[in-house]
Structure 1
């Protein structure tokens, strides 16, 4: 019987690269500010820190980002067993989960559930715009000019809900979202005899 194995490398690359470069920038800044508060030998300590950081911390961040990539690159839907594997995306359900930043650490994990545990499936398309100021040459007096530039963004989602809880699966391309949605729908229909197509919220 057929097994769907659907790769979404662009979303995996986006999440892993954002994690890698974000931490590479954030951690040195935070530790630099902390070391500047030290009463003595601040300059020497800062120099030593950058050596230790490049030797020890960068490989750790790289390995963590690789885990994030592999956890988010693949969806496996097995029609024979009814098992569905996808990236874990729980939201915080307790104060402890908020403190421990559970959604962040879940980026490195996958979850496997049975099709019978899914009761509803909804599609969702989120669109938003960001406006920034960009250089637009100089005025007659030589002063720099700027103009507003609006960038449009879109994110395609599948929202699952059932006895397992809930999950939100994110995609950069509608085609990839619809491919995963079709596989999940076929698996649910075969093992639960439920047509989740009727639960689709929108088709945009």
Structure 2
């Protein structure tokens, strides 16, 4: 009797680890592993609601060296809270003629209705160097018709839930097609002044955002 009881006990002890080894591992609920991906989607953040609910905007711009020149109007589209595309027309600073421009912005939502980020763009329009003639001796003068400008800069903007859109940008702009210049009073050794073809810029934009 004792031998049979001992045999049963040893059999149970020996089969325990083997039985546990053959059991399937518990299922892992991947929803509980790591943070929810929606936390990193700006569209689900209340701070970005103004861009989600009002992705379009019409704005007026004032600037120095800006993509639309001294003053202009533009259409702005934000397909997501972190990205915007802008296009418009304005008055060039040096010639007071038509200037066309487009730009894109990458934005981080810092607080409710406030974003900061970077922008870059292109603009096209006539441009002339402004030159002085001291003592009647005039230096070479360059002009482009058109000049193709590239812009890159930083920006801070605000969009309210009621629709007010404000933006301040600053950066640098440079002419891409330098070799397309026409020159007056030039010889083979003259070149455009770098301080005329690479300039700082700043702009203020104010407008109204709306939903489709």
Query: TM-score with structure 1 length normalisation?
Result: 0.19
More helix per residue: 1
The structure whose Rg is larger is: 2
Query: TM-score with structure 2 length normalisation?
Result: 0.19
More strand per residue: 2
